[in-house]
Amino acid sequence: MPPRKSWKPKGSSRGPAQRPHGKSAAAPDPNPAHEYPYDASAAAASEALERLDVSAAAEEDPPVETPPPPPPTQHEVPAPAPPSQPPVEASSCGSGSAAAGGGREEGALRRLRELVGIGREEVELTEEEVRTNDQRQEDEICALEAIFGDTVVMLNRKQGQRTFQVHVHIEIPDGTDVSARLSFGAGTLNYKGAHDEDASDDLVYKFRVEHLPPILLTCLLPSSYPSNQPPFFTISTEWLDKVMLSSLCHMLDMIWEEQLGMEVVYQWVQWLQSSSLSYLGFDNEIVLSKGDLTCVEDGGDNRACPDDAPPDLTIPRIIRYNDDKRHEAFLHGIHDCMICFSELPGVDFINLPCHHFFCQKCMQTYCKMHVKEGTVVKLLCPDTKCEGVVPPNILKRLLGEDEFERWEGLLLQRTLDAMADVVYCPRCQTACLEDAGDEAVCSSCLFSFCTLCRERRHVGVECLSPEEKLIILERRQKSGQVKGDIQKVVDEVRSIKEILKDAKQCPRCKMAISKIEGCNKMTCWNCGRFFCYQCNAAISGYDHFKGDCVVFDQEEIDRWEMQMNQRQQRQVVAQAQAEIFEGEYGYPCPTCRNPIPKIGNNNHLYCWACQRHFCALCRKVVLKTSQHFGPRGCKQHTADD
């Protein structure tokens, strides 16, 4: 369906032209918080939540064609728009759904035309009063357009029939909770009252928003406004029922009665922005409900135009509108990148689904680094406390075409390697599924092989162990029977045998991993699984090491203490020297008795253990710059021993 176009009836050329309408940007799927205050059946709750799935593309309301206006009576103002003209489109600040917003705006305009002149007495005005009212109306319209901008949409600027719509945005600085009590007993979702006594089978759906869809105020200014009569108006929105909208209409009437003869539209808009929520009692939470009042006799107001859409359409629209506004505010704001700590506008950031954001340059470097090193499994959100995945659509923007293809290939390879029942054909290296009998059939070359020894399938014959297979291959190698590709198999089996001596296999993907240093909590570089290097068990944190396993081995503790304690390091060096130069080559230290070697013919010796300087001739402790070695003392240098 082609988009609706904005239009303005032909009339007076006075005043600025109508502002063009924008389009609502598409928003990512929201993730509202759910609250379930009861324990209902799983099937019914699942069915209800599926109806509320905001990620599904809800069927929008069909466009409403504006019918031709009724013939004017003596008390009515002629309708401004002929039936052949196109319908009115929702402005860029509408409900976030073009079809729903356009239908609501057209319905409000149609209701306004029906109410024009009903219940009002005709007022006779002089020509001077008509000219004065016309000028005051034009000045008020210009002021509204200057203050509220694109939220004011002019529909007709003809004298005595000025028609416009204002999208009144509610001010919620700190956000608010929105909840709805729903009934799903009959398989359909329906709004319930906020204080229903029998609410045991109801579902309370709650989420938090910072922006609510605007209240649509549609006004028509008669010739007698503002001197004698107020504007004709209607109020509509998606999240208020008719009872509440009627209450707002009554409050607007009271504001006019307090300011008779004055321009009142600006006061109406300002009051709806700042005071409507508190007036309705929504200070802490907004409760969505559908009232039963449908006519004036029941206490309703014909100027109230509630939205009759079901909750599985209304709730996603509210959430999408909130996401659109939050995204728009993010793009126009200045934020700090938590990687490079630079202040940049929101358009230069990459916003991840986990709600963490980083500048585009840092994210591009981060993603290319992981793809280059092959660690695509670790390509997660850069936040250390988050394990959110970077979606492919963002990676495609950050990576080049070749790098993105490499990422796809590596991710497929790592995924297959992490699957315990996936093996590779020894002939063509195609991934195959292993059956219960340790056998597999290649889908590419149709080779049936044993998954243990990678040889042709041997039914009823016990498979050789790797050690037995290595012995046979080594015998063939000595006899000269091993040539070509068989030699590669021998070398591979030997390598695996040596690796498995000091390595442990990952409990998930069976990848051999060796520990070089550090604690016994290991991370598999292939699948990212945590496991204990002592017992080879899969773990999630350090609570596992409160039992028999320890975080650090004693050898690792001694090595760390040696690095941190220089005295202990010197003692180790001295002990090694004592073992090397034990006997006639060592000179005992007069303090610690550790044998110290004599280098060359220098009698000034230094003990590594106690850091003492002493003389090799008289065994006395001396200073580093001592005068012990002089004409009257021992000789510092003597002939070779």
Q: What single-letter amino acid sits at 348?
A: D
Average pLDDT over residues 595-613: 76
Whether 222 maps to a domain, the answer reads yes
Average pLDDT over residues 590-619: 78
3-state secondary structure of 25: coil
CB 138 within 8 A of CB 132: no
Shared domain for 354 and 308, answered yes or no, is no
Shared domain for 320 and 345, answered yes or no, is no
pLDDT digits (tens, 9 = 90+) for 462-503: 777 666 766 766 666 666 555 555 566 667 666 766 666 677
Please enumerate in sequence order all residues whose Cβ is within 8 A of that of 382, keeping only pairs 6 or more positions apart, or say none.
Answer: 338, 339, 356, 358, 362, 363, 366
What percentage of the chain exceeds 70 in pLDDT?
Answer: 68
- What residue numbers bound the domain in which 370 lies? 333-418
411: pLDDT strictly greater than 70: yes
Which 8-state DSSP code applies to residue 236? Answer: E
75: pLDDT strictly greater than 50: no
Whether 593 maps to a domain, the answer reads yes
Shared domain for 595 and 507, answered yes or no, is no
Instruction: Give me 498's structure tokens.
Output: 């040596």
pLDDT digits (tens, 9 = 90+) for 308-325: 788 888 889 999 999 899
Out of 205-219, 288-302, 479-493, 517-531, the most confident range is: 205-219
Shared domain for 212 and 307, answered yes or no, is yes
Question: b vs e for 251-290, b when ≥16 Cβ sit within 10 Å of the residue's Cβ?
Answer: bbeeebeeeeeebbbeebbebbbeebbeebebeeebbbbb
Average pLDDT over residues 384-405: 89
In the block, tokens 């030699």 appear at 487
pLDDT digits (tens, 9 = 90+) for 169-180: 987 878 888 888
The answer to whether the pTM exceeds 0.85 is no
Average pLDDT over residues 55-82: 40
pLDDT at 567: 62
Q: What single-letter amino acid sits at 248?
A: L
233: pLDDT strictly greater than 90: yes
Spatial separation of the C-alpha atoms in residues 512 and 248, rounded to whole Å = 71
Burial of 350 (0-12, 13-18, 19+ CB in 10 A): buried
513: pLDDT strictly greater than 60: yes
Q: Omega before 226 cis (within 30°)?
A: yes
CB 151 within 8 A of CB 214: yes
Binned at pLDDT 50, 70 and 90, residue 54 comes out as very low
Shared domain for 242 and 338, answered yes or no, is no
5: pLDDT strictly greater than 60: no
CB 216 within 8 A of CB 235: yes
Average pLDDT over residues 547-569: 76
Longest dimension (CA), the chain: 138
> 484 versus 599: which is more confidently predicted?
599
Identify the domain boundary among 378, 402, 418.
Answer: 418
Average pLDDT over residues 266-276: 93
As for how many domains the chain has, the answer is: 4
Whether 544 maps to a domain, the answer reads yes
Shared domain for 372 and 514, answered yes or no, is no
Shared domain for 225 and 337, answered yes or no, is no
Shared domain for 272 and 365, answered yes or no, is no
Closest residue by Cα to residue 285 from 175, 178, 211: 178
Whether 64 maps to a domain, the answer reads no
97: pLDDT strictly greater than 90: no
Between β-strands 621-622 and 215-221, what pairing exists: parallel, antiparallel or unpaired? unpaired
Shared domain for 248 and 344, answered yes or no, is no
Phi-psi label, residue 292: left if phi above 0, alpha if psi -120 to 50, beta otherwise:
alpha
CA distances from 50 to 242, 312, 320, 390 (A): 27, 9, 17, 26
